[in-house]
Structure 1
Amino acid sequence: MNNYIGRFAPSPSGPLHFGSLVAALGSYFQARAMNGQWLVRIEDLDPPREMPGAADLILKTLEAYGLHWDHNIWYQSRRHDAYQAQIDTWLANGQAYYCRCTRKQIKAAGDYYNGTCRHLQLPSDSGYAVRLRMDVPITRFYDEKHGDIDIPHDLAQEDFIIKRRDGLFAYNLAVVLDDIAQGVTQVVRGADLIEPTGRQISLYNILEHKPVSYLHLPLAVDQSGHKLSKQNHAPAIDLKNPRPTLIQAMKFLGFQLPAGIETAELAEIVAWGSQNWHIQQLPDALEITR
Structure 2
Amino acid sequence: MSNANATANAGLSTPIVRFAPSPNGLLHVGHARSALLNWQFAHANGGKFLLRLEDIDLTRARPEFETAIFEDLAWLGLEWPRPVRRQSRHFSDYETALSELRKLDLIYPAFLSRTEAAERVRKAEAGGRNWPRDPDGAPHYPGDDRTLTVAQRTKRISDGEPHAWRLDMKATLTGLAGSMCWDELGAGPNGETGKITATPAEWGDVILARRDIPTSYHLAVTIDDSIQGVTDVIRGEDLFAATSVHRLLQQLLGLPVPRYRHHGLVLDTGGRKLSKSEDATSIASWREQGATPADIIAMARLDSEA
TM over 0.5, shorter chain: yes
Matches within 5 A, 1:30-45: 30-45=41-56
- 1:197 aligned to 221, 225, 243, which one? 243
Taking a change above 3 Å as real, the CA distance of residues 105 and 206 of structure 1, as seen in their structure-2 partners, is farther
Say if 2:229 is the partner of 1:210.
Answer: no
What residue number does 1:145 align with?
186
Consecutive aligned runs of 4 or more in structure 1 exceeding 6 Å deviation: 137-140, 150-153
Deviating more after overlay: 65-74 vs 83-92: 83-92
Say if 2:58 is the partner of 1:58.
Answer: no
CA distance in 2, matches of 1:180, 1:52: 26
Deviation at 1:170, TM superposition (A): 0.5
Deviation at 1:31, TM superposition (A): 1.3
SS in 1 for 2:18: strand
What residue number does 1:273 align with?
none
Report the residue type matching 1:228 in the other structure. L
Deviating more after overlay: 30-39 vs 63-72: 63-72
What residue number does 2:15 align with?
4
Deviation at 1:28, TM superposition (A): 0.9
What residue number does 2:140 align with?
112
Contact 1:139 1:153 in 2 (8 A): no
Say if 2:224 is the partner of 1:178.
Answer: yes
Report the residue type matching 2:62 in the other structure. M
CA distance in 1, matches of 2:64, 2:142: 40
CA distance in 1, matches of 2:198, 2:113: 24
Unaligned runs of 5+ in 1: 255-280, 284-290
Deviation at 1:132, TM superposition (A): 1.7
Say how many residue pairs are matched: 255
SS in 2 for 1:60: helix
What residue number does 2:39 align with?
28
SS in 2 for 1:169: coil
What residue number does 2:202 align with?
155
CA distance in 1, matches of 2:97, 2:200: 26
Report the residue type matching 2:87 in the other structure. Q
Q: What CA deviation, in whole Å up to 9, does each residue of 1:138-188 have, x standing for no partner?
A: 7864421221557767524x1210111233520110011111111111110
Q: Aligned-pair RMSD on alpha carbons? A: 2.4
Taking a change above 3 Å as real, the CA distance of residues 12 and 166 of structure 1, as seen in their structure-2 partners, is same
Matches within 5 A, 1:73-88: 73-88=84-99
Report the residue type matching 2:186 in the other structure. K
Taking a change above 3 Å as real, the CA distance of residues 92 and 154 of structure 1, as seen in their structure-2 partners, is closer
Report the residue type matching 2:33 in the other structure. V
Deviation at 1:239, TM superposition (A): 4.4
CA distance in 1, matches of 2:63, 2:81: 25
What residue number does 1:130 align with?
165
Deviation at 1:128, TM superposition (A): 0.6
CA distance in 2, matches of 1:183, 1:163: 23
Deviation at 1:89, TM superposition (A): 2.8
Matches within 5 A, 1:265-284: 282=305
CA distance in 1, matches of 2:259, 2:120: 32
Contact 2:199 2:244 in 1 (8 A): no
Say if 2:288 is the partner of 1:248.
Answer: no
Report the residue type matching 1:116 in the other structure. D
What residue number does 2:233 align with?
187
CA distance in 2, matches of 1:78, 1:174: 12
Deviation at 1:101, TM superposition (A): 2.8
Unaligned runs of 5+ in 2: 1-8, 125-130, 132-138, 188-192
Q: What CA deviation, in whole Å up to 9, does each residue of 1:3-31 have, x standing for no partner?
A: 21100000001121101000100111111
CA distance in 1, matches of 2:280, 2:248: 32
Contact 2:50 2:81 in 1 (8 A): yes
Say if 2:213 is the partner of 1:167.
Answer: yes
